[in-house]
A = this chain, B = another copy of it.
Amino acid sequence: MEIRVLRRLEEKNKANADEIRTLLGRHGVSLLNIMGSPGCGKTTLLEHLLPKLGERFRCAVLEGDLFTTRDSERIAALGTTVIQLETQGSCHLDAALVLRGLRELPLSDLRLVMVENVGNLVCPASFDLGETARLAVLSVTEGHDKPSKYPLLFTRADAVVISKTDLLEHTDFDTAAAERDIRKYNANVPVFTFNHRAGPSHQFTDWLLERV
The residue on B at minimum CB distance from A146 is: B38
How far is A66 from B123 in the complex, measured between Cα atoms in Å? Answer: 12
Chain A interface category by residue count: 35 or more
Alpha-carbon separation in the docked complex, A139 to B167 (Å): 14
Which of A144-179 touch B at CB < 8 Å? 145-146, 148-152, 164, 167, 170
Q: For residue A2, which residues in chain B have a CB less than 8 angstroms away from its CB?
A: 5, 8-9
- Known A-B contacts A2-B9, A123-B123, A152-B89; the reply to A39 vs B37 at CB < 8 A is yes
Q: Is A65 an interface residue (CB 8 A)?
A: yes
Q: What copy number does this chain have within its complex?
A: 2
Residue pair A67, B141 in contact (C-beta under 8 Å): no
* CB-defined contacts of A9 to chain B, threshold 8 Å: 2
Cβ B89 vs Cβ A149 within 8 A: no
* Nearest Cβ on chain B to A204's Cβ, whole angstroms: 21
A119 to B145, CA, bound (A): 12
With contacts A37-B142, A70-B145, A122-B123 known, what are 8 further pairs, Cβ within 8 A?
A2-B9, A37-B39, A38-B150, A39-B143, A70-B149, A91-B123, A141-B141, A170-B170
23 contacts between A and B (CB under 8 A): A1-B5, A2-B5, A2-B8, A2-B9, A37-B37, A37-B38, A37-B121, A38-B121, A38-B143, A39-B142, A39-B143, A66-B152, A67-B149, A71-B149, A89-B122, A91-B91, A91-B120, A91-B123, A119-B146, A119-B150, A120-B120, A120-B121, A120-B123
Interchain residue pairs A-B with the least CB separation, the first 10: A39-B142, A91-B122, A141-B141, A39-B143, A38-B121, A37-B38, A68-B148, A91-B123, A5-B5, A37-B37
